[in-house]
Chain A
């Protein structure tokens, strides 16, 4: 049995990883839940964002967080353009999955072409900075990532729940034609949501760059577990996503601490299957 300290450290790591899952899943959950677009390219976009932040921080010696000022607006535009394409061709939910898979492969090749398949590591003071709280070591970049994840998911949840535009987005998801009949401009709102989702991918990318070594093939490593978090948290529900992401990551971290790292992937999918069995209406 591992020591309490180790368990605490594992839970903390789970919390931070959960934040990353939530950041990566936020855009996916929004476009899937509200626009019926399953954007697999969300993951490749996040990695493109990670590499761009890496490049800007290394080449221009910018603070990594300042790179967001460039990458986030650029990704918002990218998300808008992507949705314009979807609207132009009026694609269905399933087709969106296939098209964005193709896009993922293209983005992966693009990343590999520019940055090669070698591992890249963003070296900044944030990466090694830690705080000591009691007997636990808290990584600063992990903590900042978690704060960003909590802030963005809670903010998005509150926006969807209380703002007029957020209510319009939910109405749009339920019955687009009726929402339009009461004055909701479907196309513009969809462009906004898609842009927002891509911007979230940029933020997720920065925190991946701060906490992980980058390689193009890593795009696929995150998909399964983030999909599980998005589905367990309910599509379009940002708060549910955060809770599911933390629950999955914490159980993974505990499994790794108690047994061996090899068992961790089993956890997220076992959770997914159990939740789907108990709540099949998802």
Chain B
């Protein structure tokens, strides 16, 4: 479904992602792990169309998305839950969700999508007239996920969804991600919580200094001595 081939992304002269190749099949849950500053957010933002591609190709369902402007990406079924949530704080919860289905194909399913999101996150229904900026961090994360679901994505891009959340709430977020994946949505998860990410993903890529340094089944990577030492804080 998603084929990234020798992708290079840069901010001005500073290259953040080098020559990355990555593939994802339908309904797969793949995680990209790595230290801070490895280029994980850059990679995921480029996949969402927020950053221009310097070199390489980005194909989704065989369509080359590489040269499309950002607002055309979501039409193809890609939705982003960005790092730091980035909800529209001055708008109500429901307005945030409505922006999620702004693209015309998604807008036609607005009532069903709203029901689905409110079913997944009942707290958002309770707070639907509140300003998003007044929500707690966990609620804002749920709103960011809900907003992305409103776009009816076939590929959900999640950037650090557990960052800054209390452990209980982070667990809930992971449960919801697993549930969304269970509904048939492919998920690309970038996480600093490597243990939890490797536990729910089928396959994983390790990104260091802008390059893929390891890839494979998540279960095997979780057993890998170097990974355990570097990311899971376990001595071997």
Contact surface of A with B, Cβ cutoff 8 Å = 164, 167-168, 170-171, 174-175, 177-186
Contacts and interface: CB of A to CB of B under 8 A. Distances in A.
Given A181-B70, A181-B71, A181-B74, 10 more contacts: A167-B98, A168-B99, A174-B88, A174-B91, A179-B102, A181-B79, A181-B80, A182-B74, A182-B79, A182-B100
B173 interface: no
B118 interface: no
A192 to B, nearest CB: 14
Q: Which 7 A-B pairs have the closest CB atoms?
A: A183-B103, A180-B70, A183-B102, A174-B88, A180-B71, A185-B71, A171-B99
Contacts, number: 69
B82 interface: yes
B99 A182 contact: yes
A183 B74 contact: yes
Nearest to A174: B88
B73 interface: yes
B75 interface: yes
Contacts of A164: 98, 102, 107
Contact of A171 (B49, B50, B70, B91): B91
Interface in B128-154: 147, 151
A185 B70 CA distance: 8
Contacts of B80: 181
B119 interface: no
Nearest to A187: B69
Given A164-B98, A168-B99, A182 B147 contact: yes
Contact of B99 (A167, A185, A186): A167
B91 A178 contact: no
B99 A180 contact: no
B59 to A, nearest CB: 19
8 contacts: A164-B107, A170-B90, A181-B50, A181-B80, A182-B79, A183-B75, A184-B99, A186-B71
Nearest to B86: A178
A14 B156 CA distance: 55
A34 to B, nearest CB: 12
A179 B99 contact: yes
A186 B72 CA distance: 11
Centre residue among A174, A175, A184 by max chain B CB count within 10 A: A174
A180 B101 CA distance: 12
A167 B95 contact: yes
Nearest to B147: A182
B74 A171 contact: no
A184 B120 CA distance: 25
Contacts of A178: 82, 86, 88
Contacts of B95: 167, 170-171
A170 B74 contact: no
Interface string B42-61: 00000011100000000000
A281 B154 CA distance: 40
Interface in B63-91: 69-75, 79-80, 82, 86, 88-91
Contact of A174 (B73, B89, B98, B106): B89
B90 A180 contact: no
Nearest to A161: B95
B91 A167 contact: yes
A174 B86 CA distance: 9
